[in-house]
Structure 1
Amino acid sequence: MLKPIKTEAQYEIVLERLYELIQTDISAESEEEAEFEILTLLVKEYERQRHPIGPPHPIEAIKFRLDQLGMKESDLNKILGNRSRKSDILSGRRKLSLSMIRKLHNSLNIPAEALISSY
């Protein structure tokens, strides 16, 4: 019987069962597929409550997104303005302004929540 995960021991058991299901060839519309989907939702909710992941550091979010897009740090010059501003931001000597946050959000599609964190 499926039920909410309330302890770390239950969490580990559910993870083991998910691993078993992943190792099999699950047929669409089967009981195993339904079980897999439900267990995945239970794990996601447990992890959201017990193991929350905080937002990334704003500078790390920018660097990660640049890497994802295959861009270089120098490409930030076009977004943020001059080269010294980009260098100051990436080195931590200067904080992101609201207009910079908007530009980064709009041009690189970085969630604003990741950019507004204090650092």
Structure 2
Amino acid sequence: MFTAEPNTYIELLKKFPPRPIKSEKELLAVQEVIDSLLDSREMTSDKQDYLNVLGMLVHEYEAKYVQIPDLSGVELLKALVDEFGLKQKDLVPVFKTESIVSAIFNGQRKFTVEHIEKLADFFNVSPSTFFSRSS
């Protein structure tokens, strides 16, 4: 467990030497170190550099082993609603009525430009995330 707060880059390296991540268990160990550093009282440039190295290792592992579904449109909206613990009625400010929300969710209606702009503001994401990615 990573408990002490070393101050220099070399001390950080000695405490938890960075290595390529090859398993979920190793990923969790690295994430614990990252969380510990982010929770520390002071963010020094050495800690920031070390966090950057650990972040690159996590990114490399996730790019290789973690499948992130390519969601867009209604699929993305449903995932966001689920992630935020919302109900369809919570989207009435975006779509104006519950019947429009229901029609969107059931595939009976498409997003309008206004819907996409309001959804982007509501979820604080880029409007482009709601467009389908067709090849």
Inter-partner Cα distance in structure 1 for 2:75 and 2:65: 24
- Write the letter of the residue equivalent to 2:22: E
Inter-partner Cα distance in structure 2 for 1:55 and 1:17: 23
State the TM-score, normalizing by the size of structure 2: 0.51
Where do 5+ consecutive residues of structure 2 fail to align?
A: 1-18
Q: Which has the higher contact order (CA 8 A, sep 6+)?
A: 1
Q: What does the per-residue CA deviation read over 1:18-51, in whole Å, with 9 as the maximum and x for residues that have no partner? A: 748958x98998x9x9767524313414644786
Answer yes or no: is the 8 Å Cα contact 1:21–1:36 preserved in 2: no
- Write the letter of the residue equivalent to 1:65: L
Q: Does 1:91 align with 2:101?
A: no
1:74 aligned residue: 89
Name the % identity: 26
Q: Does 1:112 align with 2:104?
A: no
TM-superposed CA distance for 1:116, in Å, is 1.1
TM-superposed CA distance for 1:104, in Å, is 0.8
Indicate the SS of the match to 1:12: coil
Indicate the SS of the match to 1:107: helix
Answer yes or no: is the 8 Å Cα contact 2:116–2:130 preserved in 1: yes
For this pair of structures, how many residues does the alignment match? Answer: 108
TM-superposed CA distance for 1:88, in Å, is 1.4
